[in-house]
Amino acid sequence: MAYAAMKPAPLDVRTLQRRTVGALAAGQVLGAIGTGATVSLGSMLIVEVSGSAAWSGMAATTGTLGAALFAVPLAALALRRGRRVSLSTAGIIASLGGAVVVAAAGISNLLLLFIGMALMGAAQALNLQARFAAADLADPASRGRDLSLVVWSTTLGVIIGPNLFEPGEALGSWLALPSLTGGFAISLAAQLLATVIYLLALRPDPLIVALAATSTVPSGGHRSRGGGLALLRTSPAVRRAVATVALAHLVMVALMSMTPVHMSSHGSSLTIVGVTISLHMAGMYALSPVFGWLTDRLGGRPVVLLGQGLTAGALLAGLIWPHSVLGLTLGLILLGLGWSAATVAGATLVTSAAPTAQRPAAQGISDAMMNVAGALGGALAGPVLAAVAYPGLSVLLIVPVLVVVALQAARRG
């Protein structure tokens, strides 16, 4: 009798959702501080260990490929054990990667350094999955807003992180770490702290609660046959949304990664290049809540098309003003805004297109394809720049923009 009377209090989903978004945002700030502190250091550390600048591009490539490799397994883990376990596992892997990088620098082992940076790619996969976690319990009318708030929280981290170079070196010297590894020590500590937040604050787990509401038990072995790849084959809406996110990311990475090279080769100082990239990063994250609000009000498709218009403006600036610092800066700001609109709206479309029980699979394949596209864009942009110069690169990149417009213009599926 007494036991029957002790029923658990009804779950307040709105309160849980607010707490979930807050925890995810806090974890994103810490994660972005950590990754931001190491982005600029990675290429320099590779040069120091290898003794050659030819390997410097591998810092971004290994991290992006690592993120692509971890995306689907982490999504599968989320479906089996919930977001709390999946996100905290990614944080631990990323922290381990930071430790491997420090050790590799200490013994000057280039292969081990690449492995460590690939493991740190789990942090990128974590950041991408966190925005989807914000949508697990979100009301459909505010899904874009909640998702975008977690994306926006990255802004603080990406601003603070790159400015931790000197503090990181001071810390590394104090800890007797190898040269250029202090920032990685900061990354390791920040990721571990974010992991603690996920472990403590994501209770009850938002994905498990969402699945329970659909009478789907994660640990009961529910798996969509073929996972995310099956969804790509069978659902035109998922396929369209995934392609939108991937192609928008390809364009952003290709143009963004080549702009510093182009500017430097035409006499721009490192300070000017740094300011340009900082403004681009601000465009990527600072206005994401605006695009989330627009997505909730207008729907994902119009906001994706808005993003393609902004991206087309960026490409036009690169074509018209390839040697103007002001023109290139304007172009990169528009590029960041276009990416933000397409990514926020595209992620919302991915979430909306799949049934609740299949969302982790759809989200995982979306993140994997996004990172593969980014790695491909970054790898191909260099040879294209060398062959047809910056204006030619801008012209060629209009092709994936037009593909996204065509996909979103399709009304069926």
- Give the model confidence (pLDDT) of 69-124 as tens digits: 999 899 899 989 999 999 999 999 999 999 999 999 889 999 999 999 899 989 88
Same structural domain, 383 and 244: yes
Same structural domain, 217 and 232: no
Are 61 and 168 within 8 A, CB to CB? Answer: no
pLDDT band at 38 (very low <50, low <70, confident <90, very high): low
DSSP assigned state of 224: -
Residue 2 in domain: no
- Residue 225 above 50 pLDDT? no
What is d(CA 219, CA 400) in angstroms, rounded to the nearest whole number? Answer: 39
Residue 1 in domain: no
Same structural domain, 98 and 160: yes
Percentage of the chain lying above the pLDDT 70 cut: 89
Same structural domain, 108 and 234: no
- Residue 54 above 80 pLDDT? no
Same structural domain, 68 and 104: yes
Same structural domain, 96 and 239: no
Same structural domain, 296 and 254: yes
Alpha helices per DSSP H over 134-204: 143-152, 154-160, 165-174, 182-201
- CATH code of 308's domain: 1.20.1250.20
Same structural domain, 207 and 246: no
Same structural domain, 150 and 259: no
HSE value, Cβ hemisphere, 13 Å, CA-based, for 22: 9
pLDDT in tens, 39-51: 657 767 887 888 8
Q: Give 218 or 286, the one with higher predicted confidence.
A: 286
Same structural domain, 337 and 389: yes
Residue 7 in domain: no
Residue 163 in domain: yes
Residue 139 in domain: yes
Q: Give 183 or 132, the one with higher predicted confidence.
A: 132
What is d(CA 122, CA 78) in angstroms, rounded to the nearest whole number? Answer: 14
Average the pLDDT over 273-278 and give the result: 78
Are 279 and 334 within 8 A, CB to CB? Answer: no
In 3D space, the residue among 229, 336, 221 whose CA is nearest the CA of residue 286 turns out to be 336
What's the domain range around 191?
A: 13-221
pLDDT band at 222 (very low <50, low <70, confident <90, very high): very low
Question: Which of 179, 198, 221 is at the close of a domain?
Answer: 221
For 205-228, letters b (16+ CB in 10 Å) and e give: bbbbbbbeeeebebeeeeebeebb
- Residue 7 above 60 pLDDT? no
Total domain count, the chain: 2
Residue 17 in domain: yes
Same structural domain, 179 and 238: no
